[in-house]
Amino acid sequence: MTGAHVIKQSEAKNLRLTLTFCAIFILALLVPMLEQVYYTKLIARISVFAIAAVSLDLIVGFSGRVSLGHAAFFGIGVYSAGILAQFGIAQIWLVMPIAFLVAGLIGCFIGAISLRTSGLYFIFITLAFSQMIFFIAQGLRMYGGDDGFRLPAATVWFEGVDLSQAKVLAYTMLGVLLAVTYVAHRIMSSNFGQVIIASRDNSRKVNSLGLQPYPYQLTLFTLSACMCALGGVGFANLNEYVSPASISWVQSGEFLFMVILGSAGTLLGPILGAAAFVTLEQILSAWTEYWMFYLGVILMLRVLFLKTGLLGLISKQGA
């Protein structure tokens, strides 16, 4: 009797959660229709960072490893959009897949080496790789070096409709976010996902089942890199600018902040975290010039005093 009651409760909770997110999503769809460029761009910005945060959650929340180098994949997306545009390639159905593939190749390489380590070493080696990519981007003198360059052409859907238009950008990135989150959810609910979660919690058990976690983790890491790059393409269009600033370790730190602010291991949590981060950034910086100070305080408070992030506070899920 009590068992059925508990199951009903968690089903109810899931329903509540889904409804809440549907409501938020519909709200996000309505905002661009208000024709306020500033708010529309805000939605786009949140979506872009949410994509990066969701992709990072696959590694941090579900694989149980801390990547301090995800900004590199984000940057690969940014530079793909920029360099392709320099060569006259701006169609979205070319730019996104190419960014996806490039990030996949590099992500696979980095993952192959990094996933042989764990804990502190994993943090360091992902940091090292992202620094290498940062210096490569910074050293590309023909692409502006440290200054970067203006995005020569916005990514286009078709004639007259491109990502330099705030509404188009917002809806496109919301669509990508939805797709990315859905794919991530399906993967983590499948058997593949179960292996990942099991290896996070107890890898020896997984081995005793005759499975090697490594290929699973590598596949997930590669996919995470690919998804993050899609966010980068959006970011390039949002700023109409391509620069190495998006590849710094501080940016990686901010992505981690978003994941933990929202609740790691939940996929929806990081979306909340990204929204909260961007909104806080806007509100705080309008109020004081020392807004980074308060953001840092909030981060420390979250880590020290809360056992879980925003999603956990709302629905008692995640960490």
Window 173 to 232, contacts with other proteins (CB under 8 A)? none
The residues facing 293 across adjacent strands are none
Whichever of 50 and 100 has its CB closer to other proteins, that residue is 50
SS (H, E, C) 6-31: HHHHHHHHHHHHHHHHHHHHHHHHHH
Whichever of 133 and 230 has its CB closer to other proteins, that residue is 133
Q: Choose among 222, 183, 221, 215: nearest CA to 105.
A: 222
Whichever of 100 and 137 has its CB closer to other proteins, that residue is 137
When binding is defined by CB under 8 A, the residue of 7, 30, 105, 113 that contacts other proteins is: 113
Q: Does 125 bind other proteins (CB under 8 A)?
A: yes
Whichever of 100 and 111 has its CB closer to other proteins, that residue is 111
Question: Least distance from C-beta 234 to other proteins, angstroms?
Answer: 14
Q: Does 237 bind other proteins (CB under 8 A)?
A: no
Q: Does 33 bind other proteins (CB under 8 A)?
A: no
When binding is defined by CB under 8 A, the residue of 136, 187, 198, 211 that contacts other proteins is: 136
When binding is defined by CB under 8 A, the residue of 62, 129, 143, 216 that contacts other proteins is: 129
Place of tokens 């050293």: 139
When binding is defined by CB under 8 A, the residue of 131, 157, 185, 219 that contacts other proteins is: 131
Whichever of 177 and 278 has its CB closer to other proteins, that residue is 278
Distance CA 177, CA 72 (A): 19
SS (H, E, C) the chain: CHHHHHHHHHHHHHHHHHHHHHHHHHHHHHHHHHCCHHHHHHHHHHHHHHHHHHHHHHHHHHCCCCCCCHHHHHHHHHHHHHHHHHCCCCEHHHHHHHHHHHHHHHHHHHHHHHCCCCHHHHHHHHHHHHHHHHHHHHHCHHHCCCCCEECCCCCEEECCEECCCHHHHHHHHHHHHHHHHHHHHHHHHCHHHHHHHHHHHCHHHHHHCCCCHHHHHHHHHHHHHHHHHHHHHHHHHHHCEECHHHHCHHHHHHHHHHHHHHCCCCCHHHHHHHHHHHHHHHHHHHHCCCHHHHHHHHHHHHHHHCCCCHHHHHHCCCC
Q: Does 26 bind other proteins (CB under 8 A)?
A: no
Binders of other proteins among residues 44 to 63 (CB under 8 A) are 60
Binding mask 249-278 for other proteins (x = CB under 8 A): x---x--xx--x---x--------------
Q: Does 146 bind other proteins (CB under 8 A)?
A: yes
Whichever of 116 and 186 has its CB closer to other proteins, that residue is 116
**Paired tokens of 57:** 């959650």
Binders of other proteins among residues 67 to 86 (CB under 8 A) are 68
When binding is defined by CB under 8 A, the residue of 16, 22, 94, 190 that contacts other proteins is: 16
When binding is defined by CB under 8 A, the residue of 94, 135, 178, 215 that contacts other proteins is: 135
When binding is defined by CB under 8 A, the residue of 83, 315, 317, 318 that contacts other proteins is: 315
Residues in the chain: 319
Whichever of 100 and 235 has its CB closer to other proteins, that residue is 235
Size of the site for other proteins (CB under 8 A): 72
Q: Does 239 bind other proteins (CB under 8 A)?
A: yes
When binding is defined by CB under 8 A, the residue of 138, 217, 224, 308 that contacts other proteins is: 138
